[in-house]
Structure 1
Amino acid sequence: MNILFPKKRCRVVVGMSGGVDSTVAALLLKKEGFDVIGITLKIWTDSCMSRSLEKCCGPEAINDARNLAAQIGIPHYTIDEADFFEKEVIHYFLDEYRQGRTPNPCVKCNEKVKFGRLWSKVRSWGAEYIATGHYAVVEHQDTTSPRLKKAKDKTRDQSYFLFSLSPIQLSRMLTPLGYLEKKEVRAIAKEAGLSVWNKEESRDICFVAGKNYKDFIEEKIDPKESNAGPILDETGRVIGVHQGIERYTVGQRKGLPGGQGRPLYVVDIDPLSKAVKVGSWQSLLKTHCYVAGAHWIEKEIQTTRKVTVKLRYNYPEVPAFITLLENGRFRVDFESPQFGISPGQAAVCYEGDTVLGGGWIERDPPKD
């Protein structure tokens, strides 16, 4: 194992979810001589308690994290961030669907909650870093120019979710698992006698884990608020009706009218007319897209520049050229057409293993 830690052994707060990854991150830091404190965020409000909470964010997760912290010999605290999480993450999640976009709440949670609000609290404890179980590498050159890179385990790499963090936020972040493969993490936990070593992991969004997104959205949206409207084909002909644009994302095939003689896909969603536009698979192929809210980790981004771009977390990177535009926007031109580019998702740019930065995909045509 080649794990690089800051030379200075100081106080580190580790976000613990009750799973194997964050537990091993805490264990490794403690073994390296850091003064480790475990914390778990309570992110559900009282209104959520009527629903069946999953292990990843409910009371069971807090109990698991507390017990695991005791087992590895570190203090553990719970911090109630339910109201802030509701405001910054869940409201964003719902608003994006209302606008016909596909949200990425994990990026917002990292930026606003874990390395935003949380850091402002734990630094008063004398902590110099926040550590997580993310599979990513943060290289600490100095506080103004840290580098974010892919993890050793490319099948688990989570650098995509961290692209929007500022240099200051990255400079206060430790990611011990970035240099390990998942099988090594489980082996460390097993050797340490941690029962969590073979715990099944969830890859769902935490606050809708095990639940249907549509059900969650319908629970949260006022029943009086109607986003129903027409389903239109490529010629503008009405071929059906829908009960809410928040039920659809670009590239979706399920839930569309049949009997059209060919498979249909959602190709666009218009929040003004509340129309869901459908078409063929070929109509989803795009040669380029526009991106807003650009955030660059690497300085001196040249235009035009050849990069690889990840358009969703579970999509492979694709070769492209980026051209910087005004007002924090840039254009991405793909070397070959890409399928199902969804407005609202993050477009993250890489050069080799290094994250250059990224932004949020706009609806086509872009706003001027």
Structure 2
Amino acid sequence: WLPNHKAGSVATVLGDDGRVYPIVGRSEPLKRAVRMAEAVAATSAPVLITGPSGTGKELLAGLIHNRSKRCDGPLVRVNCAALSESLLESELFGHEKGAFTGALMCHKGRLERAHGGTLFLDEITETPAPFQAKLLRALEQMRFERVGGSESIRVNVRVVSTTNQDIVNLVNKGQFRADLYYRLCGVHIAMPALAERKEDLPELIWWFVNESAGEAGRAITAIDRRTLEIFNAYSWPGNVRQLRNVVRTAMILGKGPNLSITEMPWVLQELRSHLGTQRFEQQESLPLAGRPLEELERRAILETLRQEDGNRTRAARVLGISDRTLRQKVKKYNDAFEPVGADVD
């Protein structure tokens, strides 16, 4: 089934599993972030990557490690948002046997395991203040003690951190240590939200189509034009991660060679809740005189379906036609719209 259509990328990242992951897109905001990552990679400067959830911050961290002089060393990730304060300390610094109940053996922490490589602190702003103080001390001195131990362990690591919050605002409010912020933010790279790089939508859609093709058992030749219009109008609060899930759903539940979400009312309803409606309201305000009757009928059907949250039975009742007639007209207007072909470069 692969590939349905080649998707362009600005860089590739070698994952821990040996697979190559592309950073898909060609927009200027994405290129800017990648250029900064490539420029700082060869240095030892700490890097702070900011941006909303689902934008690909972890991929960019992997790119920095891959292009660094430490690429042969380990890339060790700490998910700061998933661990309590006590677990954070034990996971980062390790613990000695008997340090606490259940500590049956000596455990090397992730800071120690990252020696000679990169320590990746994911969602660093989720850490509590007492832990921030201990982390700052360890990073400043590049030495620490395991929990329950007294031996000073020296390490040499490069630190890359991420956050989906406004860290400067947290520092100003006293909710994140200023000295730790200055230690982590040698270079600041902002990953753009998907709403800031909508020109990358076709490339991303095709990448996720290819990714889901085998699972769905479909070969896609085109993207339905109405679907692409909806995608372009939508704000994508979940960013690339959300787009991936929507495309995967459309691949699994749809049929035929065209990718479309117009046959999935629940997906349309979810996207509709965040749609930028100004564009459609402007379209509706156009004068009716002189417009083809077929276009007015199509618009009436689509707007009624949108008003009724995709429920065709209710929409047919409002329009005064049978369910069967509505199904036929929806199919007719979907087919009548020229789909977006595979050549999207």
TM-score (norm 1): 0.24
Structure having the larger proportion of residues in helix: 2
Structure having the larger proportion of residues in strand: 1
Q: Report which of the two structures shows the higher radius of gyration computed on alpha carbons.
A: 2
TM-score (norm 2): 0.26
Q: Relative contact order: is structure 1 or structure 2 higher (C-alpha 8 Å, sep ≥ 6)? A: 2
